[in-house]
Amino acid sequence: MMHRPILLGGILLAVLGSLCPFLWFVLTSFKSQIQVEAIPPTWWPDGSLVFYASALFEHRLLHYVRNSVTVAGSATVIALIAATPAAYALARLRLPGKTWILGGLLCVAMFPPIVIAGPVWQILERLGGLNTHWGLVLPYVSLTLPLAVWILTTFFHELPIELEEAARIDGCTTWQALYKIMLPLAAPGLFTAAILTFIYAWNEFFFALLILTDPERQTLPVGIALFQGEFIMPWGEIAAASVIATLPLIILVLLFQRGIINGLSAGAVKK
Amino acid sequence: MTKSTKEHTTDWLMVFPALTFVAVFSLYPAMDSFVLSLYSDFPGPERSFVGFGHYAELLQDPVAHQAFIVTLGFVLFSTALELLMGTGIALVVHERFRGRGWVRAAVLIPWAIPTVVASQMWRFLLNDQYGAINAILFGDRINAYVPWLADPWTAFGAIVLADVWKTSSFTGLLVLAGLQVIPEETYDAARVDGATAWQRFRHITLPLLKPALLTALLFRTIDAFRVFDLVFVITQGGPGDATQVIQFYGYKTLFTEGRVGYGTTISVTVFVAMAILSLFYVRTVGSKLLQRKPA
């Protein structure tokens, strides 16, 4: 299709452009303080781990990691529990107005966060959810549900309907048909939806900043954004913390690249 | 065969939890924002109905005007560049070659990196003393080093650059999905007729890609309107108000100053502006798509 040299150039440009900026941050995280402050900058690090030690122990990074795992993990589980039956019903059952529901969900997913931020904050204040993890999980579930429902609906659509009809003839109820027949078959879709929900919740910053003001409870993005040194910008520590916050995501992308690509384009193309 | 009432109840029970979540934490808050924007700023007994008073104030507010212009500029520049880069990425990773999976994964990495991390990264790359960008451009000539984030124009450019780096691969994915549904035979036929690579791209790929490009344009426009993390971390809206996007201004008004009425007025206006621009795209670009069936 494309000329070989052009293709090769394109590949090189895409890969280097995508990776080099972050690689420099990775290199920075292994430098020493003297190297970070060198002008002009030194490229190769000493391989020192001082910034990791300082980020982990002085800045208590593990705290933030644990908070992020709790919040992103619970949001993913709850979003999937709510999204799965909804997607099944929207893909398979004769609900009146289901195209409206799907369209409405897509619209809701487009709301700018600032539009809902004020009232969400007030609701959480009344419920006592400010500065708690569950108070952040609730809006995360609501914000990730539309995408999860869309991905799962497209997945359920593609499964052969005969299997399910057979199950219904054998006397399965709607719930049994979903959990015994469809769910195992839709496992790849569930997995994709779970990964995308998790990445969203792991990376989200705006609501986390509003809802969690107590450093004890803050998630990684808030911790990294508000990273303060005593006298100077602690670039080395920020780089180390960034690498730690990003590592799980890079592993997810390397392992599940195909599923992620399919899931992201599910809502957009296969209507 | 008609369904029993019991089965109908089950059907609705299945959608109920999801719809409740969305209704309580997205739909109701959006409507409540509009209601709140019609009342005076501070909650409590003195709270009074002011109608569209805050909207009139917004029309007179030069800071808000500036924020709208900055946001619009950001939306236009970043989406245009992302469509361009995204199409390039899509064309490359659509080709068949060994190790394509690895290249796709590599390209996806900026998308997966938390925006806050990407922001800190670019802030450091563009640092006036320790940044790699200055080192690459000027090497040892330290006196030539540019304080990128201190100048209004380059600071704005930095926000756009960071967004383009982070999101071009997402645009690329949407375009890739469009490429994958173009049948291979179309190209074979064109090749038999002696079309060059550029002609094939110009007259087959591009027209057939338009729906995917429109989708990507819409998604990116809507998302670019909500830019917040990049600005919060890289510039805090500065220097001056040069990079203060509307979501950041709304955040400051609503949560730093606690002006509920005026803050929600700003947020409702963002919402309306975004909806109008999206509708405009769908109406103009979308209807052209429907009229001009690609050959």
Averaged pLDDT score across all residues of chain A? 88
- C-beta of residue A140 within 8 angstroms of C-beta of residue A124: no
Burial track A152-178 (b if 16+ CB lie within 10 A, e otherwise)? bbbbbeebeeeebeebeeeebebeebb
Which residue in A has a C-alpha nearest to residue B251's C-alpha? A114
- Among A residues 246-265, those touching chain B with beta carbons less than 8 Å apart: 246, 249-250, 252-254, 257-258, 260-261, 264-265
- Condensed to tens digits (0 to 9), the pLDDT of residues B244-286 reads 999 999 999 999 998 999 999 999 999 998 888 888 887 776 6
| B2 φψ region: left (φ > 0), alpha (ψ -120 to 50), beta (else) | beta
Which one of A59, A80, A115, A197 makes the best mutation probe of the B interface by having the most chain B beta carbons within 10 Å? A115
Q: Is the pLDDT of residue A172 over 70?
A: yes
Q: Which ipTM score applies to this complex?
A: 0.90
DSSP code, position B31: H
Residue B164 lies in a domain: yes
The tokens for B194 are: 């002696």
- C-beta of residue B214 within 8 angstroms of C-beta of residue B72: no
Cβ neighbours around A17 below 10 Å, total: 17
Burial track B245-258 (b if 16+ CB lie within 10 A, e otherwise)? bbbbbbbbbbbeee
> Where do we find the tokens 């910008």?
A233
Q: Which residues pair with B49 in a beta bridge?
A: B39
Tell me which range, A75-89, B132-146, B191-205, is most confidently predicted by mean pLDDT.
A75-89
CATH code for position A254: 1.10.3720.10
- Among B residues 158-217, those touching chain A with beta carbons less than 8 Å apart: 165, 169-170, 173-174, 176-178, 181, 187, 197, 212, 215-216
A235–B124 CB contact, under 8 Å: yes
Q: Is the pLDDT of residue B29 over 70?
A: yes
Is A235 in CB contact (< 8 Å) with chain B?
yes
Averaged pLDDT score across all residues of chain B? 88
More confident residue, B295 or A19: A19
Tell me the three state secondary structure of residue B243.
coil
Residue A30 lies in a domain: no
Residue A86 lies in a domain: yes
Report, as an integer, the average pLDDT of A42-49: 85
Report, as an integer, the average pLDDT of A45-62: 87
> What is the nearest CA distance from B235 to chain A, expressed in angstroms?
12
Q: Is the pLDDT of residue A17 over 80?
A: yes
What is the spatial distance between Cα A67 and Cα A242, in angstroms, rounded to a whole number?
15
Cβ neighbours around B173 below 10 Å, total: 28
Cβ neighbours around A230 below 10 Å, total: 5
Evaluate the omega torsion of the peptide bond into residue A40 and state whether it is cis, within 30 degrees of 0. yes
Residues of B in contact with A249 (CB under 8 A): 112-114
Is A220 in CB contact (< 8 Å) with chain B?
yes
Is A213 in CB contact (< 8 Å) with chain B?
no
Residues of A in contact with B260 (CB under 8 A): 118
Is A151 in CB contact (< 8 Å) with chain B?
no
Range of the domain at A234: 61-269
> What is the nearest CA distance from B111 to chain A, expressed in angstroms?
9
Contacts of A195 (CB under 8 A, 6+ apart): A252, A256, A259, A260, A263
Residue B178 lies in a domain: yes
Is A240 in CB contact (< 8 Å) with chain B?
no
Residue B26 lies in a domain: no
Residue B77 lies in a domain: yes
A261–B178 CB contact, under 8 Å: no
Residue B60 lies in a domain: no
Evaluate the omega torsion of the peptide bond into residue B239 and state whether it is cis, within 30 degrees of 0. yes
> What is the nearest CA distance from A26 to chain B, expressed in angstroms?
10
For residue A163, give the amino acid letter.
Answer: L
Report, as an integer, the average pLDDT of A115-133: 94
The tokens for A200 are: 């969203």
- Condensed to tens digits (0 to 9), the pLDDT of residues B155-169 reads 999 999 999 999 999
A250–B264 CB contact, under 8 Å: no
pLDDT band at B122 (very low <50, low <70, confident <90, very high): very high
Residue B182 lies in a domain: yes
| A60 φψ region: left (φ > 0), alpha (ψ -120 to 50), beta (else) | left
- Condensed to tens digits (0 to 9), the pLDDT of residues A213-258 reads 999 999 999 999 998 766 778 899 999 999 999 999 999 999 988 8
Residues of A in contact with B109 (CB under 8 A): 18-19, 22, 250, 253
B101–A2 CB contact, under 8 Å: no
B114–A149 CB contact, under 8 Å: no
Is B84 in CB contact (< 8 Å) with chain A?
no
Which of B91, B101, B174 shows the shortest C-beta gap to A257? B101
Amino acid A271: pLDDT: 39
Amino acid B191: pLDDT: 84
Residue B28 lies in a domain: no
Is A177 in CB contact (< 8 Å) with chain B?
no
B181–A227 CB contact, under 8 Å: no
What is the spatial distance between Cα B247 and Cα A237, in angstroms, rounded to a whole number?
29
More confident residue, B82 or B218: B82
pLDDT band at B291 (very low <50, low <70, confident <90, very high): low
- Condensed to tens digits (0 to 9), the pLDDT of residues B102-116 reads 999 999 999 999 999
Which among B110, B118, B223 is positioned nearest to B168, based on CA atoms?
B110
The domain total for chain B is 1
Which residue in A has a C-alpha nearest to residue B11's C-alpha? A89
> What is the nearest CA distance from A20 to chain B, expressed in angstroms?
10
Which residue in B has a C-alpha nearest to residue A208's C-alpha? B229
Which of A18, A101, A119 shows the shortest C-beta gap to B33? A119
Share of chain A above pLDDT 70, in %: 96
Report, as an integer, the average pLDDT of B54-71: 94
Amino acid A268: pLDDT: 55
Which among B69, B244, B29, B229 is positioned nearest to A115, based on CA atoms?
B29
Is B136 in CB contact (< 8 Å) with chain A?
no
Residues of B in contact with A24 (CB under 8 A): 121, 125, 132
Range of the domain at B270: 66-291
- Condensed to tens digits (0 to 9), the pLDDT of residues A173-207 reads 888 888 888 888 888 889 889 999 999 999 999 99
Report, as an integer, the average pLDDT of A6-11: 91
The domain total for chain A is 1
Q: Is the pLDDT of residue A269 over 60?
A: no
Which among B253, B252, B268 is positioned nearest to B31, based on CA atoms?
B268
Residue A69 lies in a domain: yes
Which of A39, A120, A145 shows the shortest C-beta gap to B22? A145
DSSP string over B86-128: HHHHHHHHHS--TTHHHHHHHHHHHHHS-HHHHHHHHHHHT-T
CATH code for position B226: 1.10.3720.10
Q: Is the pLDDT of residue A1 over 80?
A: no
